[in-house]
Amino acid sequence: MRILFLSKRQYMGKDLIDDRYGRFYELPEYLASQGHQVIGRCLAYHARKQSSVGQIDTPSGVTWLSWDLPPVYFDGLLKFHRDILASLKSFRPDVIVGCSDAFQVIYANWLGKKYCIPILIDLYDQFEAYGSNHIPGLQSAYRHAIKNASGVTCISEPLRRWVASLRNSEENTFCLGNAVDTGLFRHFDKYECRKNLGLPIDAKLIGTAGALTKNRDIESLYRAYAKLAELHTDIHLVIAGVRDTPPPAHPNVHDLGQLDHSKIPLLFNALDVGVICNRNSLFAQYCHPQKFLEMQACNLPTIAARVGIFALEDGEAGTETYIPEDPDDLVLKLLETLSKSRESATVRVPTWHSNARLLEGYLLKIIET
C-alpha cells in the first residue's frame, strides 16, 4: 500500500517530528517497516523552537514534512495545500489517513472526494470536545466527513459507538485504542525508582502525571489528599506535568515539575497507587487515557474517575473507580487500594506494533471495499 498520513504536528504536549512521539509517529513507522510506502504531512499550529526541523526521514523510511502556520497563517496553509496536491500527483496514495483533529479530518475528506481516494479517519479523541468546535460550521463539516469516510478508527469503544450511530452503520468502524512502548514502560524496582527521583523510600506514595488541570479535575485529587494528610502522615502525594492550578502546600507533596518522558516510567514504578482524574465531560466520555496503559505496563494499581471507558459494564479489569468530582469517594478508594497487597504479575498491554497490525488490516479492507 501507498499511505499518506495527515496530522497536526503538536499534540499531547509533544512534537511529532522533534520528539518522534506517540500514535501518529508510531503507527506509520510500523506500517513502513512492513514494506508499505508511507509519507506524512503535518501542520504546526503553534510557534516552534528555532532549532526545530521541518523534515525527517525515519528509520523505517517514512518521510515527514511539516509547515508552520504562524506567523503568516494563510501563507502556511497555502504551502501545505500545494505540497499535498503535489504529493497526490507524485506519490499516488492508495489511501489517505486523516487524524489528530477536526481540521485534518475535514481536509482529508475533501481530498478523498475530489480525487477519488479512500479515506480512513482516525479519531484519537472526540474532537467536538475541543475549543475549535465553536467555530461556525466546523461541527457540521466534521460530522459530514465522518459519515462519508471509507472507514473510521476510534480511540475507545464509546467513541466507536457514537461514530456508528452517526454513520447509521457498524460497517468499517473500528476501535483502535492507545498503546505503549513496552521497552520504556515496564516494571522496575520500586525503591530504586524512588532513589532516582529523590522520593521518600518508606512512605506510601499516591500520584499521577500528565495534565494537572482543572478541566481534568485535578482539584479532586488535591482535595482528597488534603483530607488524607490530616490523618495519615505516612501517605505522600507525587505529581508531575503541566498545570493551571497549584498543588496543596504541604511538606508531603512532591512536585516533580514537567518530567522528561523517559522518566515517567520511574515515577509510575515509584508509586503505590496511580490516579486518573477526569470530570464527567464530553472529552472524558470518549477518551482512552494514555497514562492508564502506561500505569498498567508498570504494574501500578490504578484508580480512575468512573466515566467513559471506566464506566462501561465490562469496565477495565483490575481498575478501581471513584465518583467523578467526589474527593470523599476518592479518599475511600485510595485507602482501600493502599490496604491491598500489590501483586507482582505483569499486565499485558497493547503495543504500537500490535495496534499497527490491526490498522494495516483495516486499511486493506477499506481499499478493497
User: pLDDT tens for residues 241-286?
Assistant: 999 989 999 999 999 999 999 999 999 999 999 999 999 999 999 9
Which residue do the cell numbers 465553536 mark? Answer: 134
Residue of 82, 86, 112, 85 lying closest to 97 (CA atoms): 112
Q: What is the DSSP letter of 9?
A: S
Q: Which residues contact 63 (CB under 8 A, 6 or more apart)?
A: 39, 40, 55, 56, 57
Which residue do the cell numbers 515517567 mark? Answer: 264
Q: What is the pLDDT, as a whole number, of residue 12?
A: 86
In this structure, are residues 35 and 70 in contact, taking their beta carbons and an 8 Å threshold? Answer: no
Which residue do the cell numbers 509547515 mark? Answer: 67
Q: What distances in angstroms separate CA 192 from CA 188, 195, 244, 253, 272, one per listed residue?
A: 8, 5, 31, 20, 14
User: pLDDT tens for residues 149-188?
Assistant: 999 999 999 999 999 999 999 999 999 999 999 999 999 9
Mean pLDDT of 76-87: 93
* DSSP per-residue string spanning 120-178: EEEESS-GGGSGGGGSTTHHHHHHHHHHHSSEEEESSHHHHHHHHHHHT--TTEEE---
Q: Helix or strand or coil: residue 80?
A: helix
Q: What distances in angstroms separate CA 306 from CA 158, 174, 255, 298, 310, one per listed residue?
A: 14, 23, 26, 22, 5
Q: What percent of the chain has pLDDT over 90?
A: 84
Q: What is the DSSP letter of 241?
A: E
How far from the centroid of its chain's Cα atoms is residue 192's Cα? 28
Say how far apart CA 154 and CA 162 lie, in whole Å.
Answer: 10
Q: What is the pLDDT, as a whole number, of residue 155?
A: 96
Say how far apart CA 187 and CA 307 lie, in whole Å.
Answer: 27
Amino acid found at 310: F
Q: What is the pLDDT, as a whole number, of residue 46?
A: 84
pLDDT band at 340 (very low <50, low <70, confident <90, very high): confident
